[in-house]
């Protein structure tokens, strides 16, 4: 009788181990899907648009810091940013919300900044090309 109980326990232990293994494999497969990048909600600016916006933001900030657009010029910095928000059909509040979302999703933010770097490089090439002519 002891041996038959031991066999039953052994079989149920094997089933539990098998279920555990299948669960771990399934979890691993699902966690790898979508390259770890979450889908951007509809109320958040999509990655390509966000890259375009951040490109413009960084170019404007650099222009202000380098003195290319003076802080006391005809268009003050806050107005320049207001024009930028208008160009992208957003508000300052929207921008802050988008930045908050992307900073909570670092992989997605990395992919956006890869596009920003490409955009800035293309803008630089255009400027250098125009300067030579």
Positive or negative torsion for Cα 39, 102, 63, 70: positive
Domain ranges of the chain: 2-34, 38-132
Of the candidates 86, 112, 87, which has an alpha carbon nearest to the alpha carbon of residue 99? 112
pLDDT at 10: 60
Q: What is the pLDDT of residue 127?
A: 85
Residue 52 neighbours by CB distance under 10 Å: 17
pLDDT digits (tens, 9 = 90+) for 95-130: 999 999 999 999 999 999 999 999 999 999 998 887
Q: Angle at Cα 51 formed by Cα 30 and Cα 54, nearest 5°?
A: 130
Q: Determine which of 16-20, 48-52, 97-101 has the lowest per-residue pLDDT on average.
A: 16-20
pTM above 0.75, yes or no: no
* Of 16-20, 54-58, 82-86, the least confident: 16-20
CA angle 128, 132, 133 (to 5 degrees): 120
Query: Residue 46's closest CA among 93, 92, 115?
Result: 115
Residue 120 phi, psi (nearest 5): -65, -40
pLDDT at 29 over 70: no
84: CB partners within 8 A, 6+ apart: 53, 56, 57, 60
Q: Phi, psi (5° rounding) for residue 70?
A: -70, 145
């Amino acid at each position: 009788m002891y041996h038959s109980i031991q066999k039953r326990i052994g079989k149920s232990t094997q089933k539990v181990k098998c279920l555990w293994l299948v669960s771990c494999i399934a979890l691993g497969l699902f966690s790898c899907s979508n390259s770890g990048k979450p889908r951007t909600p509809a109320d958040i600016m999509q990655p390509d648009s966000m890259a375009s916006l951040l490109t413009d933001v960084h170019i404007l900030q650099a222009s202000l810091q380098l003195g290319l657009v003076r802080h006391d010029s005809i268009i003050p910095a806050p107005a320049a940013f207001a024009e930028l928000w208008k160009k992208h059909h957003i508000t300052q509040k929207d921008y802050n919300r988008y930045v908050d979302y992307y900073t909570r999703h670092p992989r997605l933010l990395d992919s956006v900044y890869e596009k920003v770097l490409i955009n800035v490089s293309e803008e630089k090439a255009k400027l250098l090309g125009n300067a030579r002519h």
